[in-house]
Amino acid sequence: MSGRAAAAITEADLVAYVDDRLSTERRADVEAHLVLNAEDAARVAAWQQQADDLRAHFSRESDEPVPAEMAALFAAQRPSVLGPVLRIAAVLALVLLGAGAGWYGRGAFTPAGVVAALPQEATRAHLVYSREVLHPVEVTAKEEQHLVAWLSKRLGTTLKVPSLSGQGFGLVGGRLLPASSGNHTAAQFMYENRQGQRLTLYVRSGESGGDTSFRFTGEGNAVAFYWIEDGFGYALTSETGRDALLPVARSVYEQLTR
């Protein structure tokens, strides 16, 4: 031992020594103690052997296949967990549609007053669907062509789906959504990176305010970049904060306005 006076070695030290949770300094103290104390040394050696045996013993147990009824829990998750959220979203959408239709007649024109602001509507949709585990999208990226053709038809434009692989995000898929503007339809494309972070690109038709530049809005981590072009509103939303989303949003903007 060095000139430093070491505190007495306790049972907890021996436990932590075996589990390799001691500081280098304390570890040296324990080792010095074990040299002089045969009983503790035998105890520690037995514990170490035991720890190896236990790891081998338990590692055999983890190789078994997952029983079907457990796997089924993940398939059955949507109605039990997100059912209420989806219902609330549906009710909200109906209320918005109802207000628009009821107040302004047949919805023949777009009343500026009831059209929810683009980033708010996009963020609301993002928060609902980005939390979905099993059904984040209606049509997956496996059927990308079908997805794009379908949503293009419903929105009445030719949609382009930007590639964000350069930013580490892959397309998960997309879905059709109700909107408070235009022909009441919007499209949402969802992307995800390897860390499971999701962002959504929201496109809705019938923007009446004229083109806008590239804009930012958000509070805390829920942020959105958005712009309006040729009557279509675009919003890219994530919960990653402004700085992380900016380069991705710039790429989307460049790809879509090119």
Partner 1 sequence: MLFRRPPHPIEAEIPRLRRFALALTRDRETADDLVQDCVARALAAWATRRGDDAALRPWLFTILHNRWRTRQQREWARPDRISLEDAGEGPEVSGGQWEALELRDLDAALAKLPGDQRAVLLLVGVEGLSYEEAARVQNVPTGTVMSRLARARDRLRALMDGEPPQASEGSGRAHLRRVK
User: Which of 7, 24, 38, 55 is close enough to bind partner 1 by CB under 8 A?
Assistant: 55
Tell me the per-residue interface mask from 166 to 205 with partner 1, x by CB under 8 A, - otherwise: ----xxx-------------------x---x---------
How many chain residues interact with partner 1 (CB under 8 A)? 50
Q: Residues 154, 187: contact at Cβ < 8 Å?
A: yes
- What are the C-alpha distances in Å from 32 to residues 45, 48, 49, 180? 15, 17, 20, 75
Query: What CA–CA distance (Å, rounded) separates 233 from 159?
Result: 12
- CB-based contact 249:256 (threshold 8 Å): no
Instruction: Tell me whether strands 198-204 and 215-219 are parallel, antiparallel or unpaired.
Output: unpaired
Check if the beta carbon of residue 205 is closer than 8 Å to that of residue 153.
no
Least Cβ distance, residue 146 to partner 1 (angstroms): 13
Looking only at residues 99 through 158 of this chain, which bind partner 1 when binding is defined by CB under 8 A?
Answer: 131, 133-134, 136, 140-142, 144
- Report which DSSP code applies to 112: G
Interface pattern 208-247 for partner 1 (x via CB under 8 A): ----------------------------------------
Stretch of residues binding partner 1 (CB under 8 A), selected from 55-63, 99-107, 109-117, 212-220? 55-63
Residue 81 binds to partner 1 (criterion: CB under 8 A):
yes
